[in-house]
Structure 1
Amino acid sequence: MTATHDAQEPSRRDFLYIATGATAAIGAGFLAWPFIAQMNPDRAALALASSEVDLSQIAEGQVVTVKWRGKPVFVWNRTKDQVETAKSVPLSDLPDKQARNENMPGADASDVNRAAKGKENWLVVVGVCTHLGCVPISNSGDFGGWLCPCHGSHYDSSGRIRRGPAPENLPVPPYAFDSDTKIKIG
């Protein structure tokens, strides 16, 4: 036998090295798991992941800002005229045709897909401009919704981008009506 032939053929010692290394790697994984698992948020932190809003305090036409996961969320009790104006906008006029609604993934940006079914007067959107993260001003801009004063993004009364550098509509967070006067965001 030549030396080159012995170097290519695995031996019992090679197998023991590989088996020992694999066992050590698995053992290290089991040892590290409790340390990794303790980095997950506890139940108290997860409870803060949702926010309840009392709608009975919001007058028709009024926009209220609440905090959810450290972000501003606009809750708007739109008037009938504002709802009708938002519904009348053709999709072809919108730069972003996606609803960006976590409650209806993949839906188009029509007003029906941005508000809750049967409660179209309530609009809930994350109040962060999709351009650079500024907070837009409510009841402003050329389309009666929001205006981001930093770079001039105009949103309509459904939170859809209509003009300016913002690439997307204001996102609709996951929310549900607990009752006629209360919603839970998150």
Structure 2
Amino acid sequence: MSEHETTSETLGEPTRRDFLYLTTGMAGAVGAVSVAWPFIDQMRPDASTLALGAIEVDVSSLTPGMSLTVKWRGKPVFIRNRTDDEVKAAKAVELSDLKDPIARNANIAADAPATDIDRSAGENRENWIIMVGVCTHLGCIPLGQAGDFGGWFCPCHGSHYDTAGRIRKGPAPMNLAVPTFSFVKDTVIKIG
């Protein structure tokens, strides 16, 4: 044992110096976190932004053939209770006739085909269609129940969408997007 070593240092036991190093390090870590926390906390979205993340829409008043436009994340969303004839017309369209063969439905696989069922609310609710109401050409808002295919028509540049929101004619490159949604009740749709 050298003259500067203590018995506890040679035996591997903690010394007072070890305790002081540990305590100082812990105090420094707590101080760093307390200084950094306000900067980290400010990056979280505020309550009004979180509230816009999802909305619930009562669709009990929409009989077949009626539509409703709601605002979600600053964009219009078209909700339509399609008639049986509109569903039949959309089902009759061959995928080879479509300009955009991809469903563009956030609720299913990204590469799903643009069949009527993949564009709608699903098997038991195929009459319901929910889409972001922004033309995929230049971001205009199409008119409902208009155009050559009885769906939506963007008068700005002449894009025609069918009753399933699929682009059929005009400069728009893609189908209208279907946002994430679910039926929380038979007459209430949660979007987002």
Q: TM-score, normalised by structure 2?
A: 0.78
**3-state SS of the aligned residue for 2:157?**
coil
Deviation at 1:56, TM superposition (A): 0.7
Q: For each residue in 1:148-180, what CA deviation from the matched residue of structure 2 results, as whole angstroms up to 9, or x when unmatched?
A: 000000000000000000010000000000111
Aligned to 1:69: 73
Aligned to 1:108: 113
Superposed displacement of residue 33, structure 1: 6.3
Q: How does 1:24-103 map to 2 (within 5 A)?
A: 34-103=38-107
Q: Alignment identity in percent?
A: 61
CA 1:43 to 1:81, structure 2 compared with 1: closer, same or farther past 3 Å? same
Larger CA deviation: 47-56 vs 121-130: 47-56
Compute the displacement of 1:35 (Å).
1.7
Amino acid at match of 1:172: V
- The residue number in structure 2 matching 1:17 is none
Q: What is the CA–CA distance in structure 2 between the aligned matches of 1:72 and 1:32, rounded to whole Å?
A: 39
Q: Residues 30 and 132 (structure 1 numbering): CA distance in 2 closer, same or farther, change over 3 Å?
A: farther
Q: What is the Cα deviation at residue 50 of structure 1?
A: 0.9
- Distance in 2 (CA, whole Å) between partners of 1:30 and 1:53 is 42
CA drift of 1:57 comes to 1.2
Give structure 1 regions of 4+ aligned residues with deviation exceeding 4 angstroms.
28-33
Deviation at 1:30, TM superposition (A): 9.4
Residue by residue over 1:23-52, the C-alpha shift from the partner in whole angstroms, topping out at 9 and shown as x without a partner, is xxxxx9996664244122034421221111
Q: Tell me, what secondary structure is at the counterpart of 1:81?
A: helix
Letter of the 2:187 partner, please give it. T
Q: Which runs of 5+ in 1 are unaligned?
A: 1-27
Aligned partners of 1:33, 1:83: CA distance in 2, in Å? 54
Partner Cα distance (1:136, 1:185) in 2: 20
Residue-by-residue CA offset, 1:90-118 (whole Å, 9 max, x unaligned):
10000101100000132110011011121
Map 1:136-147 onto structure 2 (within 5 A): 136-147=142-153
Structure 2: give runs of 5+ residues left out of the alignment: 1-31
SS across alignment from 2:60:
helix
Name which of 165, 171, 189 aligns with 1:165: 171
Q: Which has the larger radius of gyration?
A: 2
How many residue pairs match? The answer is: 160
CA RMSD, aligned part only? 1.9
Moved more, 130-139 or 43-52: 43-52
3-state SS of paired residue (1:57) = coil
Cα 1:61–1:30 change in 2 (3 A) is same
* Counterpart residue identity of residue 152, structure 1: G
Q: TM-score normalized by structure 1?
A: 0.81
